[in-house]
Amino acid sequence: MNGQMMQQPLLISSLITHAERHHGEQVVVSRRVEGDIHRETYREMAVRSRRMAKAIAALGVQAGDRVATLAWNGYRHMELYYAVSGSGAVLHTLNPRLHPDQIVYIADHAEDQVLFFDLSFWPLVQAVAGRTKTVKHWVAMTDRAHLPADADKLPGLLCFEDLLEAQDDRYSWPSFDENTASSLCYTSGTTGNPKGVLYSHRSTVLHTFSISMPDALSVSANDSILPVVPMFHVNAWGLPYAACMNGAKLVFPGAGLDGKSLYELFEAEQVTVSAGVPTVWQALLAHVEANGLKFSTMRRTVIGGSACPPAMLRKFGDDYDVRVLHAWGMTEMSPVGTVAAFKPVHAGLDQEALYGVMSKQGRAVYGVDLKIVDENGAELAWGTETSGDVLVKGPWIIDRYFKDEGGDPLVHGADGDWFPTGDVARMDADGYMQITDRSKDVIKSGGEWIGSIDLENIAMAHPGVAMAACIAAFHPKWDERPLLVVMKKPGATVTRDELLAFFDGKIAKWWTPDDVIFVDAIPLGATGKMQKNKLREQFKGYTLPTG
């Protein structure tokens, strides 16, 4: 017997429709590339999104066509999120920090038809425009007055506000199968070419429900959310959708990602929640500390994308009364998989123990199941302290890559199909996962694993250390041993021996790095993560001391 409820496909357009009707007065604030602060309500945004949906149709975009963006976090980008996906086309958020060659490769692979870009990326657009195979229209996300003076270098260049001007908003969002593709993101491809992850309307809406929940990111109409995580990095972790679902205020930082600009926006717009990778917070904390500032409204920040150093969540908590929500996921997971929210078992723990829980990547959100397996694929019991490979499944987890690149990525077992994340982790007795490494970053000393993230976390707790990466280096006896690569804080005088002594008592003696190298900068990838593969390459010939 079937239930007797309405059949309604889960479509992304339903999010903006809800925001328009039930939170129409709520505002979206953007720091614009043009230099000013822009404000609009959800009501206005919904109208502009419908007009843009008509505009892209007028450009010849059809259902399933890919429409690309090279853009910061801002209201026009958000309007494209809804106009493109809502009308049945596929939004492809390109990462502007990639090399032009990679952008050309990805745009060609995706077969992008139209490319929208923020003015900051005009030089980049000029570098790729003659080389892409499928892009028919280039649209500058600005008004006519702000078009670049040398706009004629790209004949046929279109202007976002002109496209909108030409349309009215008499448009109804179409209804279609919820499994229709909605957006496309490419993984960074630290090995091999980048691969596309194609989300659906259904996966996106379900993920939005899940991340909104109290023990996940807890998104409310009373929040003012500033996503520092870019809209080209796994859809800003789903926040542009969750904000509409919950009627939260959104504050977009645009290109102003330095500590000072962010802090000003946090204060001016009374931001309560933020989200980003650890390297961003370092810059913000440095600014706040150097100027003796406090956050008057911000009380929570989601940190993920790479491990949040415990020293950082302590600083946020002790000095600024900001609760860090450590979260883990990946492009292939839409991205959220786990969040380190507490359970009743943690009630009564002292602050130090609570920080211990918060520094883990957390427990699975509803919708994601995960298990940790040994090298034979057998599940490891929770609470055993043994690390293994993390496998996940759920309705917003990848089934296969775009155009079947790389073949079948799944592990098929008696208990279903699982996606192997490439992460190595252990699980505590309460179901809190702690990532110890990415499998390609693991250090194997005499056949035994050493968790590079644990070592980095300790090093980054040293007051003289700005950033630390731990990589495997060749060792004549043990094959591999940990080599610590350190970027000092400006003016710090910490020495190698001092740093190595800092590990005493904090970790099993044999895990202590064998050597320390100080560098001016640690290479960061396009999403702000340390590029350990680059460091491994740089120190390939390095032989550790054997003494």
Binding mask 162-201 for ligand ADP (x = CB under 6 A): -------------------------xx-x-----------
User: By CB under 6 A, which span of 253-261, 289-297, 421-429, 486-494 interacts with ligand ADP?
Assistant: 421-429
Catalytic residue, candidates 332, 418, 456, 480? 332
Q: How far is the CB of 147 from ligand ADP (least distance, A)?
A: 33
Residue 470 · residue 445 · CB < 8 Å? no
**For 236-380, where are the E strands, in sequence order?**
249-252, 273-276, 300-303, 323-329, 336-339, 363-364, 369-373
**For ligand ADP, the closer CB: 13 or 434:** 434
Q: How far is the CB of 278 from ligand ADP (least distance, A)?
A: 9
Binding mask 352-391 for ligand ADP (x = CB under 6 A): ---------x------------------------------
Out of 261, 529, 533, 538, which residue is the one contacting ligand ADP (CB under 6 A)? Answer: 529
User: By CB under 6 A, which span of 126-134, 174-182, 328-336, 477-485 interacts with ligand ADP?
Assistant: 328-336
**For ligand ADP, the closer CB: 422 or 431:** 422
Cα angle vertex 539, ends 514, 422, to 5°? Answer: 85
Catalytic residue, candidates 111, 264, 382, 449? 449
User: How many other β-carbons are positioned within 10 Å of the β-carbon of residue 384?
Assistant: 13
C-alpha atoms less than 13 angstroms from C-alpha of 158 in its C-beta half-sphere: 19
One-letter amino acid at 145 equals A
Say whether 444 is catalytic: yes
**For ligand ADP, the closer CB: 89 or 450:** 450
Out of 73, 93, 235, 527, which residue is the one contacting ligand ADP (CB under 6 A)? Answer: 527
Q: How far apart are CA 298 and CA 323, in angstroms?
A: 9
Out of 67, 307, 458, 499, which residue is the one contacting ligand ADP (CB under 6 A)? Answer: 307
Say whether 17 is catalytic: no
Q: How far apart are CA 47 and CA 51, in angstroms?
A: 6
Q: How far apart are CA 363 and CA 370, in angstroms?
A: 9
Out of 96, 230, 305, 528, which residue is the one contacting ligand ADP (CB under 6 A)? Answer: 305
Residues 245-264 close enough to bind ligand ADP by CB under 6 A:
none
Out of 304, 367, 388, 528, which residue is the one contacting ligand ADP (CB under 6 A)? Answer: 304
Q: How far apart are CA 257 and CA 522, in angstroms?
A: 19
**For ligand ADP, the closer CB: 208 or 434:** 434
Cis bond before residue 310 (omega within 30° of 0)? no
Residues 99-118 close enough to bind ligand ADP by CB under 6 A:
none
Task: Give the residue among 427, 423, 361 at the shortest CA–CA distance from 392.
Answer: 423
**For ligand ADP, the closer CB: 42 or 328:** 328
Say whether 138 is catalytic: no
Say whether 480 is catalytic: no
Q: Does 334 bind ligand ADP (CB under 6 A)?
A: no
> Count of H helices and E strands in the chain?
15, 26
**For ligand ADP, the closer CB: 328 or 503:** 328
Cα angle vertex 282, ends 442, 221, to 5°? Answer: 105
Backbone angles phi, psi at 44, to 5 degrees: -65, -40
Non-local CB neighbours of 220 within 8 Å, separated by 6+ positions? 246, 248
Task: Give the residue among 94, 51, 279, 56 at the shortest CA–CA distance from 186.
Answer: 94
Out of 330, 465, 535, 544, which residue is the one contacting ligand ADP (CB under 6 A)? Answer: 330
**For 81-146, where are the E strands, in sequence order?**
90-93, 112-117, 137-140
Token pair of 456, please?
Answer: 């980095």
Catalytic residue, candidates 403, 440, 444, 506? 444
Out of 438, 462, 481, 488, which residue is the one contacting ligand ADP (CB under 6 A)? Answer: 438
Q: Output DSSP code: residue 238.
A: G
**For ligand ADP, the closer CB: 113 or 452:** 452
Token pair of 31, please?
Answer: 């720091």
Non-local CB neighbours of 148 within 8 Å, separated by 6+ positions? 119, 122, 140
Q: In which element (H, E) is residue 263 found? A: helix 259-268
Out of 180, 421, 452, 512, which residue is the one contacting ligand ADP (CB under 6 A)? Answer: 421
Residues near ligand ADP (CB under 6 A) are 187-188, 190, 304-307, 326-328, 330-331, 335, 361, 421-423, 435, 438, 527, 529
Residues marked active site are found at 187, 332, 444, 449
